[in-house]
Amino acid sequence: MTEQLSTRVQALELPMTIEMSKKSRELAAKGVDVISLSLGEPDFDTPDFIKEAAIEGIHQNYSHYMPVPGFTDLREAIAAKFKRDNHLTYGVDQIIVSTGAKQTLANLMLSLIEPGDEVIIPAPYWVSYLDMVKFCEGVPVVVESSIETGYKITPEQLEASITDKSKLMIFSSPNNPSGAMYSESELEGLARVLRKYPNIFVISDEIYELIQYGYKHTSIASLDGMYDRTATVNGLSKGFAMTGWRIGYMGAPAWVAKACDKVQSQFTSGTNSIAQRAAIAAVSTEPSQIQYMIDAFTERRTKMLNWLGSLPGFRTSNPEGAFYVFAEISELIGKSFNGKVIENDMDLCIYFLEEGHVSSVPGSAFGLPGHIRFSYAASISELEEAYKRLAVAIDNLSA
Ligand code: PMP
């Protein structure tokens, strides 16, 4: 038959993060020793106490269909976590567990966006927000930040982006790709604007909450007047090194949770039962249990900022959280190698991959061209080697 894909799917793009990983794997398959700094996942294994909880779950025969929004005891443990870490009181009926925060976000957007609704997305943003919004026939309204404001938008910028069609705002703090974390007073600045527009709902993606460097994480839902109009999204992939387990969750007003439950019941049902048993152990843990990972990230962050900051043409900010350095590289645009001009950040990423054998992701994937994201979820020796290769690659560019 003729290929007749829906326009919705045809408009969907593959995330550039996945494209870059594919390119670097292809090069590695040819025997090239590529240092991969393009992926967004911790290089640690899942902690043993979480693995043990999963094994116990298998022995206890958690092998049947489970409630769509998640096991009640897991949702109780998540409610306790929200109270302990975020000063948020959610009842079990306000919590939905999903197959990764990605599904949590998809559930929310499918539940909330009407065709033509405007969705405010501060840039740089996580790759999938934009495509999810478009898939739901919403209209993304991208608000760009810059290195000058530490990659955070200002209340004035937020207010200027609001129209009578504004329905949602989606942001992550700590941010992927910039690592920026909004302080309580910065969030209060945004909340002050949002209070004037009660019809705008907020999706606050806090999946990097535990990975931060001496700063205080604040959930926007904990600020005056925000609780009833915010979904607080989180998950286990980053903080607990559990990307493959696929556990995401949210706390939200009951009417939103009910809608997400309905969407999930038709598309996937409850998420993997064994992963849910493991999740109870993870969310019930004091953050100190994973401090060894944060300590390792802290050391790498300091080194990466020194190394990358010293490269000609690189400007770096002060990422408060996550495990990325988002480097401003616009000075390198227009330079050339073997007569081929580097026209944009994508060209530079490909040049670094092909000539320096270091993979990274262009800022344009995150809505902010002129930048490159490097993950430092890699060993110090790999990071140092990557830095040396980048230094040579930059040196080989001509003006
Ligand atoms: N939000 C952000 C900001 C992310 O970086 C990611 C993963 N890269 C996710 C959500 C999705 O995480 P997961 O589906 O693994 O829970």
The answer to whether residues 67 and 96 touch, using CB atoms and an 8 Å cutoff, is: no
Query: How far, in Å, CA of 96 to CA of 350, rounded?
Result: 40
Q: What is the number of the ligand 1 atom nearest to the C-alpha of 247?
A: 16
Mode of pairing for the β-strands spanning 248-251 and 324-328: unpaired
Ligand 1 centre distance from Cα of residue 205 (Å): 9
Instruction: Report the pocket of ligand 1 as residue ranges, CB < 6 Å.
Output: 40, 100-102, 126, 172, 176, 205, 207, 235, 237, 243, 248
Contacting residues for 4 by C-beta, under 8 A, at least 6 apart: none
Residue 64 burial (CB < 10 Å; 0-12/13-18/19+)? Answer: exposed
Ligand 1 geometric centre to CA of 358 (Å): 23
- Give the per-residue pLDDT at 2: 85
Q: Which residues of the chain have pLDDT under 70?
A: none
What is the full DSSP assignment across 286-355? -GGGGHHHHHHHHHHHHHHHHHHHTSTT-B-----BTTEEEEE-GGGTT-EETTEE--SHHHHHHHHHHH
CA pair distance 58, 67, nearest whole angstrom = 17
pLDDT of residue 347: 94
pLDDT score, position 13: 82
Give per-residue pLDDT as tens, 120-150. Answer: 999 999 999 999 999 999 999 999 999 999 9
Identify the pLDDT of residue 40.
87
Per-residue pLDDT, 330: 96
Q: Which pLDDT does position 399 carry in this prediction? A: 84
- How is residue 213 annotated by DSSP? S
- Start-end of CATH 3.90.1150.10 domains in the chain: 7-45+290-394
The pLDDT score that the predictor gives to residue 39 is 83
CA diameter of the chain: 65
User: Residue 11: what pLDDT?
Assistant: 86
> Which residues belong to CATH 3.40.640.10 in the chain?
64-285
- In angstroms, the Cα distances linking 154 to 6, 146, 317 are 38, 11, 17
CATH number of 7-45+290-394: 3.90.1150.10
Give 15: exposed, middle or buried? Use CB within 10 Å, 0-12, 13-18, 19+. middle
Q: From the CA of 257, how far away is ligand 1's center (Å)?
A: 19
CA of residue 25 to ligand 1 center, whole Å: 21
Query: What confidence score (pLDDT) does residue 260 get?
Result: 98
Tens-digit pLDDT profile for residues 376-396: 999 999 999 999 999 999 999
Give the tokens for residue 200.
Answer: 């705008």
ipTM above 0.90, yes or no: yes
What's the topology of domain 64-285? Aspartate Aminotransferase; domain 2 (3.40.640)
Q: Looking at the CA of residue 208, tell me the nearest atom of ligand 1.
A: 3
pLDDT for 14: 80
3-class state of residue 140 by DSSP? strand
Note the pLDDT tens digit of each residue in 312-348: 999 999 999 999 999 999 999 999 999 999 999 999 9
Considering Cα of 282, then 39, then 100, then 217, what sign does the dihedral take? positive
State pTM to two decimals.
0.97
* Phi, psi torsion values for 134, nearest 5 degrees: -65, -40
> Token pair for residue 242?
């559990």
